[in-house]
Protein backbone atom coordinates (compact mmCIF):
# COMPACT_ATOMS: atom_id res chain seq x y z
CA UNK A 1 0.00 0.00 0.00
CA UNK A 2 1.39 3.42 -0.95
CA UNK A 3 1.79 6.05 1.72
CA UNK A 4 -1.42 7.91 2.57
CA UNK A 5 -1.00 11.62 3.24
CA UNK A 6 -3.05 13.43 5.86
CA UNK A 7 -4.82 16.54 4.65
CA UNK A 8 -4.87 19.76 6.66
CA UNK A 9 -8.59 19.32 7.35
CA UNK A 10 -8.02 15.76 8.61
CA UNK A 11 -5.17 16.92 10.81
CA UNK A 12 -7.39 19.64 12.28
CA UNK A 13 -10.02 17.00 13.08
CA UNK A 14 -7.51 14.99 15.12
CA UNK A 15 -6.23 18.16 16.79
CA UNK A 16 -9.75 19.04 17.92
CA UNK A 17 -10.45 15.48 19.06
CA UNK A 18 -7.30 15.26 21.18
CA UNK A 19 -7.98 18.69 22.67
CA UNK A 20 -11.51 17.61 23.58
CA UNK A 21 -10.82 14.15 25.01
CA UNK A 22 -7.36 14.61 26.52
CA UNK A 23 -6.76 18.35 26.71
CA UNK A 24 -3.66 17.87 24.56
CA UNK A 25 -2.88 20.72 22.19
CA UNK A 26 -1.12 19.28 19.14
CA UNK A 27 0.86 22.10 17.58
CA UNK A 28 0.82 22.63 13.79
CA UNK A 29 4.37 21.24 13.76
CA UNK A 30 3.00 17.84 14.88
CA UNK A 31 1.26 17.16 11.56
CA UNK A 32 3.99 14.80 10.35
CA UNK A 33 4.01 13.03 13.74
CA UNK A 34 0.24 12.47 13.56
CA UNK A 35 0.52 11.26 9.97
CA UNK A 36 3.35 8.86 10.77
CA UNK A 37 1.91 7.36 13.94
CA UNK A 38 -1.67 7.02 12.76
CA UNK A 39 -0.58 5.93 9.29
CA UNK A 40 0.52 2.63 10.82
CA UNK A 41 -3.04 2.04 12.01
CA UNK A 42 -4.47 2.86 8.57
CA UNK A 43 -2.22 0.23 7.03
CA UNK A 44 -3.04 -2.32 9.73
CA UNK A 45 -6.78 -1.80 9.25
CA UNK A 46 -6.65 -1.54 5.46
CA UNK A 47 -8.14 1.96 5.42
CA UNK A 48 -7.83 4.34 2.51
CA UNK A 49 -7.86 7.69 4.31
CA UNK A 50 -7.35 9.41 7.64
CA UNK A 51 -10.96 10.54 7.41
CA UNK A 52 -12.11 6.90 7.58
CA UNK A 53 -9.95 6.34 10.63
CA UNK A 54 -11.27 9.50 12.27
CA UNK A 55 -14.85 8.29 11.87
CA UNK A 56 -13.93 5.04 13.64
CA UNK A 57 -12.21 6.63 16.65
CA UNK A 58 -14.55 9.58 17.04
CA UNK A 59 -17.83 7.77 16.58
CA UNK A 60 -17.54 5.27 19.41
CA UNK A 61 -17.57 2.31 16.99
CA UNK A 62 -14.35 0.81 18.37
CA UNK A 63 -13.34 1.84 21.93
CA UNK A 64 -10.12 -0.20 21.71
CA UNK A 65 -9.02 1.60 18.57
CA UNK A 66 -9.87 4.92 20.21
CA UNK A 67 -7.48 4.02 23.07
CA UNK A 68 -4.78 3.05 20.57
CA UNK A 69 -5.16 6.46 18.93
CA UNK A 70 -4.78 8.26 22.27
CA UNK A 71 -1.75 6.10 23.09
CA UNK A 72 -0.10 6.96 19.79
CA UNK A 73 -0.68 10.70 20.08
CA UNK A 74 0.41 11.18 23.69
CA UNK A 75 4.13 11.30 24.42
CA UNK A 76 5.55 8.66 26.77
CA UNK A 77 9.23 9.60 26.79
CA UNK A 78 10.76 9.36 30.26
CA UNK A 79 13.61 7.74 32.18
CA UNK A 80 14.68 6.91 35.72
CA UNK A 81 15.51 9.88 37.99
CA UNK A 82 14.75 12.41 35.27
CA UNK A 83 15.60 15.92 36.52
CA UNK A 84 17.54 14.48 39.48
CA UNK A 85 17.53 17.70 41.53
CA UNK A 86 13.86 17.11 42.24
CA UNK A 87 14.61 13.74 43.78
CA UNK A 88 17.44 15.26 45.83
CA UNK A 89 15.11 17.97 47.11
CA UNK A 90 12.39 15.43 47.90
CA UNK A 91 14.88 13.33 49.82
CA UNK A 92 16.75 16.07 51.69
CA UNK A 93 14.15 18.81 52.20
CA UNK A 94 10.61 17.50 51.77
CA UNK A 95 10.51 14.06 53.37
CA UNK A 96 12.07 15.22 56.69
CA UNK A 97 9.19 17.75 57.03
CA UNK A 98 6.35 15.31 56.45
CA UNK A 99 4.50 13.91 59.44
CA UNK A 100 5.03 10.29 60.37
CA UNK A 101 1.51 9.88 61.77
CA UNK A 102 -0.83 6.92 61.52
CA UNK A 103 -1.96 7.72 57.96
CA UNK A 104 0.22 6.52 55.10
CA UNK A 105 2.55 8.95 53.38
CA UNK A 106 1.21 9.15 49.81
CA UNK A 107 3.07 10.31 46.70
CA UNK A 108 1.48 10.62 43.26
CA UNK A 109 3.30 10.33 39.95
CA UNK A 110 0.52 12.01 37.99
CA UNK A 111 1.84 11.47 34.47
CA UNK A 112 3.88 8.36 35.06
CA UNK A 113 4.12 7.12 31.48
CA UNK A 114 5.99 3.80 31.50
CA UNK A 115 6.66 3.94 35.23
CA UNK A 116 10.25 5.09 35.60
CA UNK A 117 9.29 8.17 37.62
CA UNK A 118 7.02 6.19 39.94
CA UNK A 119 9.65 3.56 40.66
CA UNK A 120 12.28 6.29 41.16
CA UNK A 121 10.01 7.83 43.80
CA UNK A 122 9.50 4.43 45.43
CA UNK A 123 13.26 3.89 45.66
CA UNK A 124 13.71 7.25 47.39
CA UNK A 125 10.88 6.51 49.85
CA UNK A 126 12.16 3.03 50.63
CA UNK A 127 15.61 4.47 51.25
CA UNK A 128 14.72 7.60 53.25
CA UNK A 129 11.43 6.65 54.94
CA UNK A 130 12.05 2.92 55.20
CA UNK A 131 11.07 -0.13 53.18
CA UNK A 132 8.69 -1.26 55.95
CA UNK A 133 7.24 2.17 56.75
CA UNK A 134 3.65 3.23 56.02
CA UNK A 135 3.84 4.82 52.54
CA UNK A 136 2.68 4.27 48.99
CA UNK A 137 3.20 5.61 45.48
CA UNK A 138 0.19 6.05 43.22
CA UNK A 139 1.07 6.29 39.52
CA UNK A 140 -1.28 7.22 36.70
CA UNK A 141 -1.30 7.84 32.98
CA UNK A 142 -3.95 8.42 30.33
CA UNK A 143 -2.76 5.39 28.34
CA UNK A 144 -4.06 1.99 29.45
CA UNK A 145 -1.38 0.22 27.40
CA UNK A 146 1.50 2.11 28.97
CA UNK A 147 0.06 1.58 32.47
CA UNK A 148 0.01 -2.19 31.87
CA UNK A 149 3.65 -2.12 30.78
CA UNK A 150 4.59 -0.04 33.83
CA UNK A 151 3.02 -2.55 36.22
CA UNK A 152 5.42 -5.23 34.98
CA UNK A 153 8.42 -3.06 35.90
CA UNK A 154 10.64 -4.51 33.16
CA UNK A 155 13.05 -2.19 31.32
CA UNK A 156 15.83 -2.47 28.78
CA UNK A 157 19.28 -2.10 30.30
CA UNK A 158 19.98 0.94 28.14
CA UNK A 159 17.19 2.83 29.99
CA UNK A 160 18.55 2.54 33.54
CA UNK A 161 21.54 4.88 33.47
CA UNK A 162 19.95 7.35 35.87
CA UNK A 163 19.52 4.88 38.74
CA UNK A 164 22.14 5.43 41.49
CA UNK A 165 24.40 2.36 41.84
CA UNK A 166 23.27 1.70 45.43
CA UNK A 167 19.59 1.78 44.39
CA UNK A 168 20.36 -0.42 41.40
CA UNK A 169 21.85 -3.03 43.72
CA UNK A 170 19.09 -2.83 46.36
CA UNK A 171 15.94 -2.41 44.30
CA UNK A 172 16.53 -4.00 40.89
CA UNK A 173 17.04 -7.48 39.45
CA UNK A 174 19.04 -8.25 36.33
CA UNK A 175 17.20 -10.38 33.76
CA UNK A 176 18.56 -13.83 32.97
CA UNK A 177 17.78 -16.41 30.28
CA UNK A 178 15.04 -15.16 27.98
CA UNK A 179 15.07 -11.82 29.84
CA UNK A 180 18.79 -11.20 29.44
CA UNK A 181 19.44 -7.57 28.60
CA UNK A 182 16.59 -6.34 30.80
CA UNK A 183 16.14 -5.17 34.35
CA UNK A 184 13.11 -5.72 36.58
CA UNK A 185 12.17 -3.63 39.59
CA UNK A 186 12.25 -5.82 42.70
CA UNK A 187 8.80 -7.34 43.44
CA UNK A 188 8.79 -5.98 47.01
CA UNK A 189 9.18 -2.43 45.67
CA UNK A 190 6.66 -2.97 42.85
CA UNK A 191 4.04 -3.92 45.43
CA UNK A 192 4.38 -0.43 46.96
CA UNK A 193 3.43 1.25 43.65
CA UNK A 194 -0.20 1.22 42.43
CA UNK A 195 -0.85 2.05 38.79
CA UNK A 196 -4.15 3.15 37.28
CA UNK A 197 -5.44 4.87 34.15
CA UNK A 198 -6.33 8.51 34.86
CA UNK A 199 -7.19 11.33 32.46
CA UNK A 200 -6.05 14.57 34.10
CA UNK A 201 -8.50 16.43 31.90
CA UNK A 202 -11.43 14.81 33.72
CA UNK A 203 -12.67 14.77 37.32
CA UNK A 204 -10.23 13.01 39.64
CA UNK A 205 -12.53 10.49 41.27
CA UNK A 206 -11.18 8.16 43.91
CA UNK A 207 -7.51 9.05 43.72
CA UNK A 208 -7.42 10.33 47.31
CA UNK A 209 -5.17 12.89 48.97
CA UNK A 210 -1.41 13.17 48.71
CA UNK A 211 1.55 14.62 50.55
CA UNK A 212 3.58 15.01 47.34
CA UNK A 213 2.55 15.17 43.68
CA UNK A 214 4.96 15.00 40.74
CA UNK A 215 3.13 16.60 37.80
CA UNK A 216 6.12 16.91 35.53
CA UNK A 217 6.67 17.34 31.80
CA UNK A 218 3.00 17.08 30.90
CA UNK A 219 1.71 20.66 31.31
CA UNK A 220 3.69 21.76 28.26
CA UNK A 221 1.21 19.87 26.07
CA UNK A 222 -1.83 21.89 27.24
CA UNK A 223 -3.08 25.35 26.41
CA UNK A 224 -3.32 27.88 29.27
CA UNK A 225 -7.01 27.33 30.22
CA UNK A 226 -6.57 23.54 30.24
CA UNK A 227 -3.35 23.84 32.23
CA UNK A 228 -5.13 25.99 34.83
CA UNK A 229 -7.95 23.48 35.21
CA UNK A 230 -5.57 20.55 35.53
CA UNK A 231 -3.34 22.19 38.12
CA UNK A 232 -6.36 23.35 40.13
CA UNK A 233 -7.78 19.82 39.97
CA UNK A 234 -4.50 18.22 41.03
CA UNK A 235 -3.80 20.80 43.75
CA UNK A 236 -7.12 19.97 45.40
CA UNK A 237 -5.78 16.47 45.98
CA UNK A 238 -2.87 17.82 48.00
CA UNK A 239 -3.10 17.63 51.76
CA UNK A 240 -2.53 20.95 53.59
CA UNK A 241 1.19 21.63 53.38
CA UNK A 242 1.54 19.17 50.51
CA UNK A 243 4.13 19.64 47.77
CA UNK A 244 3.73 19.93 44.00
CA UNK A 245 6.64 19.40 41.59
CA UNK A 246 6.42 20.43 37.92
CA UNK A 247 8.98 19.98 35.14
CA UNK A 248 11.99 22.26 34.79
CA UNK A 249 10.73 23.41 31.37
CA UNK A 250 7.30 24.29 32.79
CA UNK A 251 5.86 27.26 34.64
CA UNK A 252 2.74 28.20 36.61
CA UNK A 253 3.17 31.89 35.82
CA UNK A 254 -0.14 33.55 35.08
CA UNK A 255 -2.15 30.99 37.04
CA UNK A 256 -3.90 32.20 40.18
CA UNK A 257 -3.55 29.17 42.45
CA UNK A 258 -3.65 28.41 46.16
CA UNK A 259 0.01 27.42 46.03
CA UNK A 260 3.14 29.21 47.13
CA UNK A 261 6.42 28.75 45.34
CA UNK A 262 9.18 27.23 47.49
CA UNK A 263 11.77 27.22 44.73
CA UNK A 264 11.65 27.11 40.91
CA UNK A 265 9.25 24.29 39.82
CA UNK A 266 8.42 23.35 43.44
CA UNK A 267 5.19 24.59 45.07
CA UNK A 268 3.39 24.02 48.35
CA UNK A 269 -0.24 24.12 49.35
CA UNK A 270 -1.02 26.42 52.27
Residue 227 CB contacts under 8 Å (≥ 6 apart), including other chains: 219, 255
Cβ–Cβ < 8 Å for 18, 24: yes
Quick check: is 82 catalytic? no
* Number of continuous H segments (helices) and E segments (strands) in the chain: 10, 10
Q: How far apart are CA 241 and CA 204, in angstroms?
A: 20
Between the two ends of the chain, the Cα-to-Cα distance in Å is 59
Query: Which backbone phi and psi does 242 adopt, to 5 degrees?
Result: -70, 160
The residue annotated as part of the active site, out of 37, 159, 229, 268, is 37
Buried b (16+ CB within 10 A) or exposed e, 73-105: bbebebbbbbbeebbebbeeebbeebeeeeeeb
Quick check: is 37 catalytic? yes
Q: How far apart are CA 40 and CA 4, in angstroms?
A: 10
The residue annotated as part of the active site, out of 15, 68, 82, 141, is 141
Three-state DSSP class for residue 198? coil
Q: How far apart are CA 264 and CA 270, in angstroms?
A: 17
Looking at the annotation, which residues are catalytic? 37, 141
Amino acid sequence: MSEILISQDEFEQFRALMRRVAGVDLSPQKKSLVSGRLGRRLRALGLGSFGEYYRIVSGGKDPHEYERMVDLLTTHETYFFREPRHFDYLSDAVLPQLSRGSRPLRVWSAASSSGEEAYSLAMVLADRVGADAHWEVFASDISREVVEKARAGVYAMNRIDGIPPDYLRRFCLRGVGSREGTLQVDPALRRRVRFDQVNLNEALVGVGEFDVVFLRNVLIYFDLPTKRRIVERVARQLRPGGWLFIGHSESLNGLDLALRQERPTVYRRS
